[in-house]
């Protein structure tokens, strides 16, 4: 029968974790070096122009772009039309915001009115309940829920 040695097990786990960490770093470094070498060699062999010609093309493109951008800022028609469109969109957004704000205010006042009416109705109902209880309550009776019907019977005879 085999026995379990905890120290031996933990020692094996620690060595495995160290091996994984060192292998991962080493593999990344090797891959990076190989990738850089292949990229550099491929770039040198596949470049259609010399370095000077490539730098000149990049600087020419950059100069044309900056000249185009500066000429539009100096008062070109494109800049004016963009400003006009931006102002138009701004006005449209402002009007939409104002409409939504007005709708929100109207909805709020409508809800406040409904709540006021509901509170008023509840107050009136409570007042009516108290009035009915006062009318029904007989001073001579011990229980306010009982009514002396003889009092009403005499009134009926007098009305006829």
Residue 36 to residue 42: CA distance in whole angstroms:
10
Q: What is the mean pLDDT of residues 134-150?
A: 64
DSSP 20-52: HHHHHHHHHHHHHHHHHHHHHHHHHHH-SS-HH
Its pTM stands at 0.31
pLDDT in tens, 89-135: 999 999 999 999 999 999 999 999 888 888 888 888 888 888 877 77
How far CA 3 is from CA of 6, 7, 15, 96, 144, in Å, comes to 10, 12, 21, 79, 90
Burial of 43 (0-12, 13-18, 19+ CB in 10 A): exposed
Q: What is the mean pLDDT of residues 30-56?
A: 84
């Amino acid at each position: 029968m085999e026995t379990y040695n905890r120290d031996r097990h933990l020692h094996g786990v620690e060595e495995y974790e160290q091996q994984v960490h060192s292998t991962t770093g080493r593999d990344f470094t090797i891959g990076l070096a190989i990738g850089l070498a292949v990229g550099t060699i491929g770039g040198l062999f596949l470049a259609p122009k010399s370095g000077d010609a490539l730098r000149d093309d990049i600087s020419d493109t950059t100069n044309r772009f900056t000249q185009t951008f500066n000429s539009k800022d100096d008062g070109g028609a494109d800049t004016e039309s963009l400003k006009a469109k931006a102002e138009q969109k701004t006005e449209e957004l402002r009007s939409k915001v104002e409409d939504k704000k007005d709708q929100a205010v109207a909805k709020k006042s409508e809800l406040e009115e409904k709540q006021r009416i509901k509170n008023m109705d509840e107050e009136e109902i409570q007042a009516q309940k108290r009035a009915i209880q006062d009318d029904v309550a007989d001073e001579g009776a011990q229980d306010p829920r009982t009514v002396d019907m003889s009092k009403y019977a005499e009134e009926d005879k007098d009305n006829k």
